[in-house]
């Protein structure tokens, strides 16, 4: 029997079934709480914010999940991506999600990257065909960048509110990423049990920090049976250095003599994918950071070999970005004390626009499109405009190539009600 999800409107908690079974009551309730953010209590904790939308054509209110928040709902919640996929599956088989949220608050992440020494690389989609299926159903997997993006999203670092100004430092990054790693299961084990991230440097605690690092390495790099295995490493890239064994990676906050090295093949692949063929640090703006995730194994000569690597660019406020225009917009939104989220687009729903940012204090999706001469950009713009015309949802557009060659973005939407957009504090 499916459980009845509870919803919180202010101080009142109401079963979701009551809203669905009494349309008149639902319209009155949603009208009363319009421009506030009800909470869906499908998972343990404080709840997941929902949105009350007003459709001007039908003059009715609707309760909707916030854009790109489907992953924050329990698998059995009607607002989850899983529920959406199940509904579509009644007629058309679609790939399963690589991310499965459980009712106990934990999350299973289906990682394609090997973490054991002899484990073969898993293809991005693995067939799960049964004899009764007319079309093959596929089990989706995600790689290292997907895992880093998901961990970053869960820690809340892709969202911003003005009260975070001056509080986002490496210490907070370490604290929240390691906390969330306790709630994610990868390849049958808690992520935190497979992950190392440099502790924030403290001069008066250097010896204890180093002792903890060595103890963690021994636990992560060897299984219970004593056999070597790979560990996951997340950190901020300080610099790449030449070594006798290949290109060396040094991390911020880590000892200077701790070097993770890549052979020429791994280094070349990494630089092509994340640095345009050169050192990825040269792609950063002033004051920016490069978050890196690696699978690492210890060699017989006690060196730390990097098997696979991926990275994520962020501003000085740790807001992720992929293009110079996203960076410009993120910095401007921070400077203007706006409330916003930069969606990570880990698993997108087909047919739904993929905004570069979502501005919470104006409740509007923000899109950046390449020059209209680019056929892919023109097609994306056409599809998105069709969606917004059909749904009557507000959106903001920055078309590159317009207005001083696209260097300056259009005026930002005015904030509607800042007090109605609480985001979790990170302190």
Residues 304 and 245 sit within 8 Å (Cβ to Cβ): no
Q: Which range, 44-48, 124-128, 162-166, 328-332, has the best average confidence (pLDDT)?
A: 328-332
Contacts of 241 (CB under 8 A, 6+ apart): 247, 248, 250, 259
Q: How many whole angstroms separate alpha carbon 333 and alpha carbon 263?
A: 40
> Domain 188-314, what fold?
OB fold (Dihydrolipoamide Acetyltransferase, E2P) (2.40.50)
pLDDT tens for each residue of 63-80: 988 776 777 788 778 887
Give the 3-state secondary structure of the chain.
CCCCCEEEECCEEEEHHHHHHCHHHHHHHHHHCCCCCCEECCCCCCCEEEEEEEECCCCEEEEEECCCCHHHCCCCCCCCHHHHHHHHHCCCCCCECCEEECCCCCEEECECCCCCCCCCCCCCEEECCCCCCCCCCEEECECHHHHHHHHHHHCCCCEECHHHCCCCCHHHHHHHHHHHHCCEEECCEEHHHCEECCCCCCHHHHHHHHHHHHHHHHHHCECCCCCECCEEEEEEEEEEEEECCEEEEEECCCCCCCCEEECHHHHHHHHHHHHCCCCHHHHCCCCCEEEEEEEEEECCCCCEEEEEEEEEEECCCCCEECCHHHHHHHHHHHHCCCCEECCCCCCCCCCCCCCCEEECCCCEEEEEECCCCCHHHHHHHHHHHHHHHHHCCCEEEEECCCCHHHCCCCCCCCCCCHHHCCCCCCC
Q: Which of left, alpha, beta for 60 (phi over 0: left; psi -120 to 50: alpha)? A: beta
Q: What is the mean pLDDT of the chain?
A: 84
For residue 129, pLDDT over 50 is answered with: no
For residue 143, which of 110, 107, 112, 122 has the smallest C-alpha distance? 112
Between 416 and 246, the more confident residue is: 246
Long-range CB pairs of 218-225, under 8 A, 24+ apart, other chains included: 220/193, 220/194, 220/195, 220/196, 221/296, 221/297, 221/298
> pLDDT (tens digit, 9 = 90+) per residue, 136-165?
445 588 999 999 999 999 999 999 999 998
pTM above 0.75, yes or no: yes
Q: Where are the domains of the chain?
A: 6-72, 188-314, 320-420
pLDDT digits (tens, 9 = 90+) for 210-259: 999 999 999 999 877 778 889 999 999 999 999 888 899 999 999 999 99
Distance of CA 377 to the CA centre of its chain: 23
**In the chain, what percentage of residues exceed pLDDT 90?**
48
Structure confidence at residue 261 (pLDDT): 94
pLDDT tens-digit map of 352-397: 889 999 998 888 999 998 876 777 778 888 889 988 888 888 899 9
What's the CATH number for 320-420? 3.40.1350
Residues across the chain = 427
Could you read off the pLDDT of 275-311 as tens digits, one per residue? 887 889 998 999 999 999 999 999 888 899 999 999 9
């Amino acid at each position: 029997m499916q459980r009845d999800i509870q919803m919180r409107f202010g101080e009142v908690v109401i079963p979701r079934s009551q809203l669905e079974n009494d349309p008149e009551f639902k319209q009155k309730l949603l009208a009363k709480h319009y421009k506030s953010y009800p909470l869906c209590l499908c998972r343990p904790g404080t709840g997941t914010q929902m949105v009350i939308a007003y459709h001007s054509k039908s003059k009715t209110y609707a309760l909707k999940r916030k854009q790109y928040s489907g992953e924050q709902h329990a698998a059995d919640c009607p607002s989850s991506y899983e529920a959406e996929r199940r509904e579509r599956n009644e007629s058309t088989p679609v790939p399963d999600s690589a991310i499965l949220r459980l009712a106990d608050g934990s999350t299973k992440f289906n990682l394609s990257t090997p973490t054991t020494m002899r484990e073969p690389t898993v293809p991005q989609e693995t067939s799960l065909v049964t004899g009764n299926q007319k079309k093959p159903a596929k089990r989706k997997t995600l790689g290292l960048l997907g895992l880093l993006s998901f961990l970053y999203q869960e820690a809340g670092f892709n969202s911003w509110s003005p009260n975070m100004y001056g509080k986002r430092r490496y210490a907070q990054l370490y604290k929240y990423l390691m906390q969330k790693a306790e709630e994610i299961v990868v390849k049958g084990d808690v992520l935190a049990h497979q992950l190392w991230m440099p502790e924030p440097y403290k001069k008066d605690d250097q010896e204890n920090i180093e002792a903890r690092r060595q103890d963690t390495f021994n636990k992560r790099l060897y299984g219970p049976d004593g056999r070597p295995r790979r560990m996951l490493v997340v950190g901020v890239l300080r610099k790449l250095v030449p070594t006798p064994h290949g290109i060396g990676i040094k991390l911020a906050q880590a000892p200077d003599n701790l070097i993770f090295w890549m052979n020429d093949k791994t280094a070349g692949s990494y630089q092509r994918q994340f640095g345009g063929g050169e050192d990825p640090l040269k792609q950063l703006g002033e004051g920016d950071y490069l978050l890196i995730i690696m699978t690492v194994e210890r060699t017989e000569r006690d060196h730390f070999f990097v098997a696979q690597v991926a990275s994520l660019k962020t501003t000085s406020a740790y807001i992720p970005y992929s293009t110079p225009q996203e960076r410009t917009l993120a910095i401007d939104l921070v400077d203007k004390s706006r409330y916003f989220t930069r969606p990570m687009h880990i698993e997108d729903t087909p047919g739904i626009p993929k905004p570069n940012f979502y501005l919470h204090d104006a409740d509007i999706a923000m899109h950046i499109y390449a020059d209209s001469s680019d056929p892919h950009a023109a097609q994306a713009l056409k599809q998105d405009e069709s969606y917004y015309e059909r749904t009557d949802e507000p959106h903001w557009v920055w078309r590159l190539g317009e207005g001083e060659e696209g260097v300056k973005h259009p005026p930002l939407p005015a904030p509607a009600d800042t007090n109605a957009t609480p985001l979790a504090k990170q302190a």
